[in-house]
Amino acid sequence: MERDFKRVAVAIKSEKGASSDRIISFFTSDGEIVKARCYGSRKTIKGLRIPLYSEGVISFYSQGSGLSSVKDADIISTHEDVKSDWRAEMLFSLIAELLLSSPDLDGRAYSLYLSSLDRIGEAGLYRVGIVFIVKFLDFLGLSSDYKVCPKCLREYSPDDVLGYSPTLMSPVCSECDETGSLYPLYPNARKYLARMIEVSVDHAYLLNVSPMMERRIFSYLLRLLHFFPQRLMSLNILERELE
């Protein structure tokens, strides 16, 4: 394995390491996770500071297995917007958990992540959360098209209120519902989500929805994430914060 390598990457998680070191998880533009030690300032080594959510060209050094280390970083953007809102930080901590527990990601997930960071100030927490969750689950093949019940293959009629199937991790028709109607999805919300699946990420941000509906759909999606195969620690905290 090459010892030195360079990637366009973004810092998605930053943990305290020994002394003033940080252990940073980077998400690279080709969808890989690189975990690396970033040396803090010490007498012997010149410190390098890479704030969480920074995007840049990162030079790594790898000893073959385990942690790499960061040799140098040319930071393009630090996405300070995220840090001005505690709830936004919680959302991005949830997003980091989703990325870190999903193998086989690619450049599409990277663009989606970057557009979430870029838009949090303008589009707001709910919109960014909805677009990220819907598109990300779609990339993972865990999304339905919100048009046909994936269990009985019946096409939904315009007024159908959908149920949910934890087995399929998907909304289903009311007859196929496995939750005793605990996760209803109403027609307008369904139409919005169906449209979001069809359009590009940029277009998804422009879809019209009322602020109240936006909040409802966001909390609906958060509730569904409890069925995600890996346990997401930030989920409960974010949900409590939104109550």
Q: Which residues bind Zn ion (CB under 5 A)?
A: 149, 151-152, 172-173, 176
d(CA 181, CA 172): 11
Least CB distance from residue 141 to Zn ion, whole Å? Answer: 19
Q: Which residues face 4 on adjacent strands? A: 61
Least CB distance from residue 90 to Zn ion, whole Å? Answer: 34
* Residue closer to Zn ion, measured from CB, 31 or 163: 163
d(CA 243, CA 238): 9
Least CB distance from residue 142 to Zn ion, whole Å? Answer: 18
* Residue closer to Zn ion, measured from CB, 13 or 151: 151
* Residue closer to Zn ion, measured from CB, 176 or 217: 176
Least CB distance from residue 164 to Zn ion, whole Å? Answer: 11
Q: How many CB atoms lie within 10 A of CB 237?
A: 14
CA dihedral 182, 185, 187, 193 (to 10 degrees): 180
* Residue closer to Zn ion, measured from CB, 64 or 180: 180
Q: Residue 145: what residue type?
A: D
d(CA 130, CA 116): 10
* Residue closer to Zn ion, measured from CB, 81 or 178: 178
Q: Which residues face 34 on adjacent strands? A: 26
| Residues 93, 86 contacting (CB under 8 angstroms) | no
Least CB distance from residue 152 to Zn ion, whole Å? Answer: 3
